A and B are shown apart, each in its own frame.
Chain A
């Protein structure tokens, strides 16, 4: 850890023009499975005054849960932080291997907060209503933002309202084709259903967070959402993609009527509609909910392969390949069977 501390300090001295800067208390922390995440403090002087700044380092691992585009993640943090949403301030991005052996980025740490566990039956306790109202309101604001206005209109993803659904199905079908280790009849049936029953065109193309859910935001002791994290799968697409992912039964699904362990589904959709200025057409949302479980299945299939082949032996990959995939297989089976009255 000392070597990484030294290299990080050397990098930040140059980056922040602070020749006396010290990195202290560097420690790896759990979470953010697709990248190594470290917490540390940078101590230096700024205009003669001492600064003691809590920061987060996110470094590429040798292999990750799902291959993601780090500069897109950094730019999403930057854009939505500037928009005034609860998103940590990004500090620096390095795409080369020179400084810390692998690409990385640094952002401000939001201290004294927790994430809600996806396996918890009641992740937010007495604050569930307050957290829920903020959660869907922030998501609505993300959907409302014009990608061009926030400088993200060159993001990867859909280019027209008509190709948003097809683009995402193709993206995840490719992942399944490449990483499937055993035949997946339910997942394959889901792919066929999604292609045969396309949703209405998107109401607009927006920045889709890509992993907006319980477990990917920080809440303080008062139930205030302080930071939306893990923007690594952000892309351009249909705003309903994020809403459907947020209410997927995998996340704190002990009470299906309160997706994510927060507020009732009807209330969640109402708040999202008001904040986004968009409509969550039930038929379209239904399609995106089936897609969400398919996308989840693809991610877990990919994680299982990473683990099985020894490229990333983080036990979260084994857990995902077993538990998460089994949940999404069941959700898909129930929903697809219901389509034909079975």
Chain B
């Protein structure tokens, strides 16, 4: 999720410190309302951020373990097998992100390989993971 929570907290304070009240009541009201919403979303991300990433990394690794044996490209197959066996080094968001970005890049390579081979069952499995990923990452505005 970009921007990161830390960036949002820091820049929200900066935005307030710059004196949005000088811009006039209507603009200040709109900006404060938006800041409030963004900070509420940041609080939710603080609560669920690690959980989302751990679940996503777990699902992608499981997919790689399942599909790696079917991949013809030896280099990609080895990369998938190694990634499937990897583990998150900590529950810090930065560490989880680092692993997640590596996994997501490999996921794109895997999908491209499946598309090029016309491997429909593999594509369907990958899309099931992608749909779950998108659903899990969906930002909910309500409580």
Where the two chains meet, the residues of A that have a C-beta atom closer than 8 Å to any C-beta of B are 1, 26-31, 39, 119, 181-186, 188-189, 192, 301, 304-305, 307-308, 310, 313-319, 321-323, 326-327, 329-330, 332-334, 336-337, 340-342
Check if B94 is an interface residue, CB within 8 A of chain A: no
Q: B24 near A28 (CB under 8 angstroms)?
A: yes
Chain A residue nearest in CB terms to B105: A183
Query: How far is it, in angstroms, between the C-alpha of A301 and the C-alpha of B3 when the chains are bound?
Result: 10
Partner of B141, one of A119, A301, A318, A342: A119
Instruction: Please report the C-alpha to C-alpha distance between residue A26 and residue B23 in the assembled complex, in whole angstroms.
Output: 9
Stretch binding the partner chain, chosen from B29-37, B68-76, B80-88:
B29-37
B contacts with A, residue count (CB < 8 A): 49
B contact residues vs A (CB 8 Å cutoff): 1-4, 7-8, 11-12, 14-15, 22-27, 29-31, 34-35, 37-38, 41, 45, 97, 100-101, 104-105, 107-108, 111-112, 115, 120, 123-124, 127-128, 130-131, 133-135, 137-139, 141
**Is the Cβ of A185 less than 8 Å from the Cβ of B4?**
no
Check A27–B108 contact: CB distance below 8 A. no
- Shortest CB distance B48–A (Å): 12
User: Do residues B11 and A319 form an inter-chain contact, with CB atoms below 8 A?
Assistant: no
Please name all residues of chain B whose beta carbon is closer than 8 Å to the beta carbon of A304 when the two chains form the complex: 2-3
25 A/B residue pairs, CB under 8 Å, sorted by A: A26-B24, A27-B24, A29-B27, A30-B27, A30-B34, A183-B101, A183-B104, A183-B108, A185-B111, A185-B130, A189-B111, A304-B3, A308-B2, A313-B11, A318-B11, A318-B38, A322-B1, A326-B139, A330-B134, A330-B138, A333-B133, A340-B120, A340-B123, A342-B128, A342-B131
Contacts A316-B34, A340-B120 given; indicate if A186 touches B130 (C-beta within 8 A). Answer: yes
Given contacts A189-B111, A340-B124, contact A319 B41 (CB under 8 A): yes
From B30, B104, B112, B127, A182 is in contact (CB under 8 Å) with: B104
A337 touches B131 (CB 8 A): yes
Cα of A315 to Cα of B112 in the assembled complex, Å: 35
Verify B26–A307 contact, CB threshold 8 A.
no
Q: Is the CB of A323 within 8 A of B120?
A: no
